[in-house]
Amino acid sequence: MRLAAFEALLTDAGREVLAGVDPKAAAGDQLAAASLLRGDPRVAALDPGLPVSELVNAVLTQVSLRERGRAKFGELARRMFFTPNGLEQSTRRAVADYRAERMAGASGPAGPSGWSPDGATAGDLCCGVGADLLALAARGVAVEGVDADPLTVAVARANIAALGLSGLARVREGDASATAPGRYPLLFCDPARRGGRGRVFDPSAYSPPWDTAVDLAEGAEAACLKAAPGIPHEALPGDAAAEWISVDGELKETALWFGALADGPRRRATVLHEREGLLAREGAVAHLDADPGLGPAPVAAARRYLYDPDPAVVRSHLVAEAAARVDGALLDERIAYFTADRAVLSPLWRVLEVVEVLPFSLKRLRSAVRGLGAGTVTVKKRGSAVDTEKLRRDLRASGPESVTVVLTRIGERPFCLLCREVDAPALEDASARD
């Protein structure tokens, strides 16, 4: 999408055309939707200097992106604007809101004391379509976004206007690498990890390069640097506090906190929830912090309950801290499952009741599944090379019950554990029996 075609959508006529397209109808029959738009004289009038086909494509692209954007931004996406790359790389609203709450706390009396020369107390470098700067502005933080792509800058500006935040947020086109350290007392930076050939894995090839981004963060009074969730622990800056964040069980990012924002634990796992069921049952957020005085977790044979920690807990290397909360032990010192005699429900892990433990054998496993009358089989694994989809087919399970099969390694031998999911009602029933 070219800048001129996008700008045509921002006119009153362009917004009217966008509002008149039924997203579900357009997704169901794109050819029919395109034909209707080509025949609409309002579309050609949006910019007589552009081909009608380009304007039609801009309209349908925006309609489609808004529908896809609902997965990240909820109903707010219907008012926002996107580019394909901008939507893919944008921060989920739940994460942006969570992070902005913490950063906004640093912009008060106890936080950054100064203002940049142009009036913004915070800078969002590589701001993209604006998810993070919108969250900051919504909390009263005066923020300036910086991005190198003219179209992306126009989209971010449109989002600021659409959400009524023009008094607190603005965006300028520029090279984040050229930002002087300390220009913004409060800084957020999300280095671009995609190039012309797709995803970039070498931190020195990020934009700005990783070392530059770290220097900018260290130069601010308080800062947050967004990193890929798989960042090696040895690559973490020594003066930063690291937080691994998951949403509804999916690991999303690592947030590195600097300066006034780095006074908390050095490592933290944070679990956020968006889905209504999880929100109601487990709450919006849960944390697990590193305990510097805690040694390695003990290792023991499987007990009554098996714990499957959230990916944020695993990636932050806080499995020992999680096990300690329930007096648990690892099944194997190299595998992130732990086991305990009691069940404690938490957003930080899933609890399974162990029914049977077997050395892995398809024949024995199939017999055990049939003995439980299980026709619905969920397969989880850590430290196993077994193809789970093929295993599920090979089990040929049938019956009214459900079972979870956990594949793992204990020592050098492969094992499988047959388990049942534990939820709050089941836990209450078990407590009553005990």
* 3-class secondary-structure state, position 235: helix
Per residue in 248-287, is it b (16+ CB within 10 Å) or e — as a string? beebbbbbbbbbbbbeebbbbbbbbbbeeebeeebeeebe
C-alpha to C-alpha distance for 227 and 191, rounded to whole angstroms: 8
Residue 12 has pLDDT above 60, yes or no: yes
Rounded mean pLDDT of 86-90?
A: 94
Rounded mean pLDDT of 205-218?
A: 90
pLDDT of residue 347: 92
Rounded mean pLDDT of 377-404?
A: 94
Query: Could you report the per-residue pLDDT of 68-77, keeping only the tens digit for each?
Result: 999 999 999 9
For 100, counting Cβ atoms within 10 Å of its Cβ (0-12 exposed, 13-18 middle, 19+ buried), the class is: buried
H helical segments located in 163-307: 210-219, 276-282
Is residue 418 within 8 Å of residue 405, measured between CB atoms?
yes
* 3-class secondary-structure state, position 194: strand
Q: Considering only residues 115 and 301, tell me which one the structure prediction assigns the higher pLDDT.
A: 301
pLDDT of residue 207: 84
Residue 433 has pLDDT above 70, yes or no: no
Rounded mean pLDDT of 240-255?
A: 96
Residue 114 has pLDDT above 60, yes or no: no
Confidence of residue 96 (pLDDT cuts 50, 70, 90): very high
pLDDT of residue 432: 42
Rounded mean pLDDT of 336-360?
A: 96
Owner of token pair 């991005």: 147
Residue 109 has pLDDT above 90, yes or no: no
Tokens of 75: 């109903």
**Interacting residues of 200 by C-beta distance below 8 A, sequence separation 6+:** 192, 193, 194, 206
User: Which of 49-63, 101-115, 136-150, 183-197 is predicted with the least confidence, judged by mean pLDDT?
Assistant: 101-115
Residue 424 has pLDDT above 80, yes or no: no
Rounded mean pLDDT of 20-35?
A: 94
pLDDT of residue 164: 96
Q: Considering only residues 140 and 196, tell me which one the structure prediction assigns the higher pLDDT.
A: 140
Residue 113 has pLDDT above 60, yes or no: no
Cis peptide before 208 (omega within 30 of 0): yes
Q: Considering only residues 376 and 276, tell me which one the structure prediction assigns the higher pLDDT.
A: 376
Tokens of 83: 């580019």
Rounded mean pLDDT of 92-104?
A: 95
Count of all residues that appear for the chain in the document? 434
- Rounded to a whole number of angstroms, the CA Rg of the chain reads 25
Rounded mean pLDDT of 84-107?
A: 92
User: Which of 104-108, 208-212, 218-222, 404-408 is predicted with the least confidence, judged by mean pLDDT?
Assistant: 104-108
Residue 379 has pLDDT above 70, yes or no: yes
Residue 49 has pLDDT above 50, yes or no: yes
- The H or E element containing residue 362 is helix 362-371
Tokens of 222: 């308080």
Task: Give the CA diameter of the chain.
Answer: 77
Residue 111 has pLDDT above 90, yes or no: no
Rounded mean pLDDT of 403-408?
A: 97
pLDDT of residue 218: 95
- The H or E element containing residue 71 is helix 52-73
* 3-class secondary-structure state, position 263: coil
Confidence of residue 116 (pLDDT cuts 50, 70, 90): low
Confidence of residue 206 (pLDDT cuts 50, 70, 90): confident
DSSP notation for 156-188: HHHHHHHTT-TTTEEEEE--GGGSPTTSSSEEE
* 3-class secondary-structure state, position 250: strand
pLDDT of residue 195: 63
Q: Considering only residues 206 and 65, tell me which one the structure prediction assigns the higher pLDDT.
A: 65
Confidence of residue 152 (pLDDT cuts 50, 70, 90): very high
Strand partners, 377: 403
pLDDT of residue 199: 74
Confidence of residue 115 (pLDDT cuts 50, 70, 90): very low
Is residue 318 within 8 Å of residue 287, measured between CB atoms?
no
Q: Considering only residues 201 and 222, tell me which one the structure prediction assigns the higher pLDDT.
A: 222
H helical segments located in 196-265: 210-219
Owner of token pair 């792509």: 149
Tokens of 272: 């956020």
End-to-end Cα separation, the chain, in angstroms: 64
pLDDT of residue 336: 96
The amino acid present at 37, given as its one-letter code, is L
User: Which of 116-130, 145-159, 358-372, 387-401 is predicted with the least confidence, judged by mean pLDDT?
Assistant: 116-130
C-alpha to C-alpha distance for 139 and 428, rounded to whole angstroms: 41
Averaged pLDDT of the chain: 91
User: Which of 23-37, 104-118, 120-134, 150-164 is predicted with the least confidence, judged by mean pLDDT?
Assistant: 104-118
Q: What share of the chain is helix, strand, coil (3-state, %, to 5)?
A: 40, 25, 35
